[in-house]
Amino acid sequence: MKKIGFIGTGVMGTGMIKNLLKAGYAVTVYNRTQAHAATVIAAGATWAASPAAVTQTTDVVISMVGFPQDVEQIYFGDAGILSAARPDQIIIDMTTSKPALAAKIATAAAAKNIQALDAPVSGGDIGAKNGTLTIMVGGAEPTYQAVLPIFQAMGQRVQLFGGPGKGQATKMANQIMIAGTMTGLTEMLVYAKAADLNLEEVLKTVGAGSAANWSLTNYGPRILAGDYTPGFFAKHFLKDLRIALEEADQMHLDLPATTEAKKLYETLVDDQGLGNDGTQALIKLWWEQ
């Protein structure tokens, strides 16, 4: 069975690593702050001191970090993955990042006879914990097939969409959809509260009809409980919306609803400094806490 390296032990990475360990894989991990890896180390993962050190002792290296600049650093930086990767090794970036960066990694990997995939996910902390993530993959079919059991240990829906960068492009489509469900959920609750409705019953009723969606089911109850801990960081969602709109601009597409969602999250993250809250904290732009 393949030895797996995993770089990034945050909210998402922790759940994903635990599921790999449950599936019987040996997992070696690295995180910029070692203390944040304590949970997965206690669960059976092995610590390594750098991305290169992870790469040297494993067959498949997975990364799940925050921003494109973090991806650049762990792949191309000193003691990065590509400095230590071996021919026929497989590297997989599961961070939501830029399609062009995924293509850059794949090109650099191919020059060293290394196989690369981009495989961003959807499903939040709950999906990561329960092994029910949706995984969107870009890269070569044989490489995808070789690691499909690894993906299936972390997700319930896995799909290859084409060559390098296509997984990231699919994730952008996903985030465009979520922009609508998060703003819809927020404005629905703002309206329902102003109309003096029972918010718990509104969630149950709306969620049983044609307005049902993942954001409503998973984040609606958290909002009513005053729980703004991140299933997905608001700052990371803003990053995703910016990437999606950059990609749309290159395609000469105008996406006004997504543009408005980006503006709202910029107010939340940049102006109010709430980027470390979950995406459901958007309601704070209307409700006093």
- Provide the annotated active-site residues: 171
With tokens 């993959």, the residue in question is 137
Both structure tokens of 218: 């998973």
Half-sphere exposure (CA, 13 Å, Cβ side) for 101?
22
The DSSP code sequence of the chain is: ---EEEE--SHHHHHHHHHHHHTT--EEEE-SSGGGGHHHHHTT-EE-SSHHHHHHT-SEEEE--SSHHHHHHHHHSTT-HHHH--TT-EEEE-S---HHHHHHHHHHHHTTT-EEEE--EESHHHHHHHT-EEEEEBS-HHHHHHHHHHHHHHEEEEEE-SSTTHHHHHHHHHHHHHHHHHHHHHHHHHHHHHTT--HHHHHHHHTTTTT--HHHHHHHHHHHTT----SSBHHHHHHHHHHHHHHHHHTT---HHHHHHHHHHHIIIIIT--TTSBGGGGGGGTS--
